[in-house]
Structure 1
Amino acid sequence: MKRLGRLYLVLNPTKDWDGLLTSLHQALKGGVGIVQVWDHWAEEVTDSAKGTLLVRIKELADKFQVAVLLNEDWELALAYGLDGVHFDRIPEDWDKAKIQLRKKLIGITVGNDLETVRWANENRLAYISFCSVFPSLSVDTCEIVLPGTIKKAREMTDIPIFLSGGIRAENLPLLERYSYEGIAVISGILNEENPREAANAYLKQLKSKP
């Protein structure tokens, strides 16, 4: 099983795939340590076409020993040999999924409802990811997480905590009051002219974090 890096990049597959792969390659050079493919495909994209993109993403990430996770669709993730899955909510078929996903990285999005944190801890998931710590145009389905929630979560579990939503290099210092292991980013890297430099800017600040 690959290790979790501190800088987590989420890919939106509705973007131009060649451009997305180019940006991913640069971001990996900049230090991205885990990649998730968002389950947000254009309607006409077949499972076979999805698989083609997933294979290309994994080939790139493997060169850097970086894990690739798929959002929600754990069966598709297994079909194409990905390293794990990220759930946005507790899956209804968890009893089946957890058997199939043994030895895979599994994470879940959490918010102000600590029951999901408790569930993640009981099932010893690889990590939890809070959404959203700041307002974000790319994250329109998440509530703003209260600072006290993140503090309580740290008291409840020792599994790695990631923070996401509107995080940019310039507002990263505002997260110093939290205890966390890493951050998840989309536009802060992929929308930049130089994804490698953008990723490296995040990573430098994360490395300086105690």
Structure 2
Amino acid sequence: MNHDMTLYLVTEESVPLNSLLKVVSQAIQGGVTIVQLREKNSSGKKFYEKAKALKKLLDSYDIPLIINDRIDIAIAINAAGVHIGQTDLPLEIVKRMVPKQFIIGVSAGTLEEAKNAERDGATYIGVGSVFPTGTKGDAKLLPHGVLEEITKAVSIPVVAIGGIALANVDTLQHTGIAGVAVVSAIMKANKPTLVAEKFLEKIKQ
């Protein structure tokens, strides 16, 4: 099953639920194709409630919801999939736990991590950080040329992430990526619909 990863929105934890739903809804109207709920500090209950509310909204638009890290919550709300990092549960274990049709994204910062993710059965790979980012303090900047190396070496979709903004997204053209993951540029925009539209225009040029 091929999912459209062109414009991948990752949520900002600090945004309260009502605002979150509003921003996501506007961003989808602008062309966001898939959404990941990322909560690093929320309690399980709060994360679950947020996920449930967001899933309901996304279902109405027929947009897949990916849950970051929390496999239990992804299964509990029947999300479309889960995204895991290099320090989370190993991919082969995750595959045993989730339904067969689950999308499983894996973060990779090196060619080796990307190849391993493909070998172990990831649906797509999130590669970054492609630009300096304020969202993830510990994110390492990807050395020049590694993104292209990864897209050439694997056959599953690669989504670029990290510091992606309207001002720099053009530089990712011709890298072979399936899409870009955006956090702050859309989540903190005054007009999320407009910003999402502009991202799509630039990506599809």
Q: SS of the residue aligned with 1:179?
A: coil
Question: How many percent of aligned residue pairs carry the same amino acid?
Answer: 26
State the 1:193 CA deviation: 0.3
Residue 4 of structure 2 corresponds to which residue in structure 1?
Answer: 4
1:63 is paired with a residue whose SS is helix
- Which stretch shows the higher mean deviation, 5-14 or 188-197? 5-14
> CA-to-partner distance for each residue in 1:111-163, whole Å, 9 max, x for gaps?
1x322111111023111111111111113221111232122212321111111
* 5+ long unaligned stretches in structure 2: none
Aligned Cα RMSD in Å? 1.7
Separation (CA, whole Å) in 2 of partners of 1:185 and 1:21: 16
d(CA) in 2 for partners of 1:198, 1:179: 23
Q: Which residue of 2 aligns with 1:14?
A: 14
**Residue of structure 1 in register with 2:111 after alignment:** 114
Give the CA deviation at 1:62.
1.3
If the length of structure 2 is used for normalisation, what is the TM-score?
0.92
Cα distance in 2, alignment partners of residues 49 and 170 from structure 1: 34
Q: CA offsets per residue over residues 94-114 of structure 1, 9 Å max, x none?
A: 443212222100111111x32
Q: Which amino acid aligns with 1:114?
A: L
Q: CA deviation at 1:202?
A: 0.4
Match of 2:53 among 47, 53, 56: 56
- For residues 26-105 of structure 1, the aligned pairs below 5 Å read 26-42=26-42, 45=43, 47-89=44-86, 91-101=88-98, 102-105=100-103
SS in 2 for 1:147: coil
Structure 1 unpaired stretches of 5+ = none
User: Aligned residue pairs: how many?
Assistant: 204
Aligned twin of 1:165: 162
| Structure-1 separation of matches of 2:33 and 2:53 | 17
Per the alignment, do residues 158 and 186 of structure 1 end up closer, same or farther by CA in structure 2, a change over 3 Å counting? same
Note closer, same or farther for the CA distance 1:104–1:30 as it changes in structure 2 (3 Å cut): same
**Match of residue 23 from structure 2:** 23
Contact 1:2 1:67 in 2 (8 A): no
CA shift at 1:93, angstroms? 4.6
